[in-house]
Each structure stands twice: as C-alpha cells, then as structure tokens.
C-alpha cells in the first residue's frame, strides 16, 4: 500500500470545511497533518473533528508551513490571500494545490508558476469541474464523429448568489469567482485555447457589489469553434446547475448539457430531432476526489499535473481579457502562452 502524502489545509470556512470533511478525510493519497485558519473557533472545531492535535492547529501561515511537516498545501482561503500564502509555501519547498481563481492578477500567477519551476515543486489549480461526471460525459459525447463538424457552442449560468464580504469588494467578481469554471470548461471540452474575446460585464444600481455580477462574452477558440456565454450571479428565479446549461451545434445534430425531460445530464439530438440521454461516463473519482488523486499522482511521478499553474494561466488570461474587452469596448486578442 502506498504511503500517504502529508497535507496541510489552509481555510476552514463553509467551502473549506466541506472539502476537508467530504474529500480530504477520505482521500487514499493524503493524510491531513495540519490545519490553518484565522478563525480560532473554526480551527478548534475542525481539529477535534479531524483528529489534528493542538500543536498542529495554526493561525499563522508561516508557522503552519514550516512546522507542520507537510509535503503539500491545499489552499482554500479567500482568493485575495492566494498569492501570498502560496508563494511562501513554494519557497519553503511544499507542493501547492490552490482553489480557483488562481490569483487576482496575471502577474501574480506568472510569478508563482516561475517560482514552482525554480523550486521543482508542483502547483495545481482546483478546477474540479474537469472531474465532474456530467462534464466528462459531455466531453466524451463531443467526440461523436457521426454528428459532423462542430459549428458553435453556447452556454449560460444563472443564479442569485449571496456573495461573501471579500467577494462584494473585489474587482471582476463574477468572472473570477464563477465564470472561471465555465471558461475553463470551454478549454477542456474543446481541447483548445481561447484566442480572442468580445466581452461585456456590468452591474446593477445598488447591488452591493464593487465588481460586475453579469457577464456576456463571445469567445473565439483556436479550434475555430466560437462559444457564446451569458452568466449572472444576481439572477432571481430559477437557478441553473453549477456546471451551467450548454448546447454544442454540429453539422448533423446537437449535444446538450441540460435537462431535456429526463433530468440534468448529457443529451444528443440528431437531424430528425430524436433526443436521447446518454449514460454517465465511468468516473471513479468525481469532482475534488479526482483533483486530489491527480495532484498526488503528479507529485509521486515527478511530472506536471493536469490543470497546472502554467495551464491555468490560459484560463485566467481569458477572464482578464473579457474584463479588458468590456472596459475598452473592443475585441481583445489573447497573447500566445507557453504550456
């Protein structure tokens, strides 16, 4: 039986606590050896729940990184703190798995990618939708040659999200906190990069958000398939599933991730408008289970992880290009990036 890697988790809020409880605790690859959070009460409660002794409960990230004996850091803190903590962990020789969004600027993300290379450590971004069964089923369906060539795609995501205080104060709120999933899905599903965008983001009077909660964008991809995207985090009424609602138009039919009468899932329609729902693709480790397994495998095999920091720069660049396009009122071309 393989020896487990030692993991330090930073962040025990609503999402972080759930990650520890439902994913890290049952991981076959990681042993939780330390916890870090500024909230002492949450820290003590998590320590009791997960059996972490008092001396390995930390409120100071420097002490946590240097004293916990961890091989790797799982960073589930608020996004404005990602860069500072990840940088220190890499400098101290830890591998880092960081919650999306990677960082709040491209410059900070590039710095971390370069530092990870210098330190010969892995940095991976938790874009867990790449491991969700519905998304993997959709990706598999898109390879159906009988439908002909893909022509275009459209996606939407609507929900009424009660943002946390830091989210209400941050720039590019919807892009970095939610659209990051869907823009990364474009790259993953089509095996392509985004090369240009016409985007618009906007706010509502009195919304309480500094950054825009609405996004509309037309993405040009290297694969030649345009993708049209609309999202709102202030949409009252019926909410969409987190993965969004998608339609891929082919020459001889369509592929959908939606609810077309038999529950949310992947459907294919042919030229005669016959609709069939596909069985789920086999996926042994769904969502963050898959992320943790890949992170561990990349460390053990001394290779670049899937969804590496270098790869995720391309998703992040598309998000910032969308914001630039909205601000400047023009189509923005993305620079070529190395893998």
Are residues 56 and 35 in contact, defined by beta-carbon separation less than 8 angstroms?
yes
Are residues 246 and 256 in contact, defined by beta-carbon separation less than 8 angstroms?
yes
Res. 336: pLDDT tops 80: no
**Spatial CB neighbours of 207, under 8 Å, sequence gap ≥ 6:** 213, 234
Instruction: State the average pLDDT for the chain.
Output: 96
Q: In the chain, what are the domains?
A: 5-129+286-306 (3.40.50.720), 132-282+318-333 (3.30.360.10)
* pLDDT band at residue 335 under the 50/70/90 scheme: confident
The predicted-structure confidence for 224-242, as pLDDT tens digits, reads as follows 999 999 999 999 999 999 9
Average pLDDT over residues 309-320: 98
Look up residue 175 and give its DSSP letter.
I
Res. 339: pLDDT tops 70: no
pLDDT of residue 145: 84
The predicted-structure confidence for 142-193, as pLDDT tens digits, reads as follows 998 899 999 999 999 999 999 999 999 999 999 999 999 999 999 999 999 9
Question: What is the three-class DSSP state of 65?
Answer: helix
Better-scored residue on pLDDT, 339 or 130: 130
Res. 292: pLDDT tops 60: yes
Length of the chain: 339
DSSP character string of 294-333:
HHHHHHHTTSPPTTBHHHHHHHHHHHHHHHHHHHHTS-EE
DSSP character string of 84-132:
HHHHHHHHTT-EEEEESS--SSHHHHHHHHHHHHHHT--EEEE-GGGG-
The predicted-structure confidence for 10-58, as pLDDT tens digits, reads as follows 999 999 999 999 999 999 999 999 999 999 999 999 999 999 999 999 9
Residues of the chain with pLDDT > 70: what percent? 99
Look up residue 69 and give its DSSP letter.
-
Average pLDDT over residues 237-264: 97
Res. 76: pLDDT tops 70: yes
The model's pTM is 0.95
* pLDDT band at residue 282 under the 50/70/90 scheme: confident
């Amino acid at each position: 039986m393989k020896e487990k890697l030692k993991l330090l988790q930073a962040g025990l809020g609503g999402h972080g606590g759930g990650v520890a409880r439902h994913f890290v605790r049952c991981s076959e690859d990681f042993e939780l050896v330390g916890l870090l959070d500024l909230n002492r009460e949450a820290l003590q409660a998590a320590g009791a729940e997960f059996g972490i002794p008092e001396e390995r409960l930390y409120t100071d990230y420097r002490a946590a990184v240097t004293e916990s004996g961890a091989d790797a850091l799982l960073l589930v803190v608020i996004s404005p703190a990602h860069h500072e903590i990840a940088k220190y962990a890499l400098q101290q020789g830890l591998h880092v798995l960081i919650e999306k969004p990677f960082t709040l600027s491209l410059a900070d993300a590039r710095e971390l990618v370069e530092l990870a290379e210098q330190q010969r450590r892995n940095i991976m971004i938790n874009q867990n939708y790449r491991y969700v069964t519905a998304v993997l089923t959709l990706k598999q369906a898109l390879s159906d040659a009988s439908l002909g060539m893909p022509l275009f795609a459209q996606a939407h995501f609507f929900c009424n999200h009660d943002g946390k205080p830091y989210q209400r104060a941050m720039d590019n709120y919807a892009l970095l906190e939610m659209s990051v999933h869907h823009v990364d899905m474009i790259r993953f599903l089509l095996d392509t990069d985004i090369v240009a965008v016409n985007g618009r983001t906007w706010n509502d009077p009195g919304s309480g958000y500094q950054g825009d909660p609405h996004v509309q964008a037309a993405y040009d991809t290297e694969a030649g398939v345009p993708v049209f995207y609309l999202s709102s985090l202030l949409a009252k009424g019926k909410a969409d599933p987190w993965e969004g609602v998608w339609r891929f138009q082919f020459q001889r039919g369509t592929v959908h991730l939606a609810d077309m009468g038999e529950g949310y899932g992947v459907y294919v329609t042919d030229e005669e408008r016959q609709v069939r729902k596909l069985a789920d693709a086999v996926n042994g480790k769904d969502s963050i289970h898959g992320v943790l397994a890949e992170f561990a495998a990349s460390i053990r095999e001394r290779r670049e992880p899937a969804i590496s920091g270098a790869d995720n720069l391309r998703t992040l660049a598309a998000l910032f290009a969308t914001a630039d396009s909205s601000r400047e009122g023009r189509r923005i071309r993305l620079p070529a990036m190395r893998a």
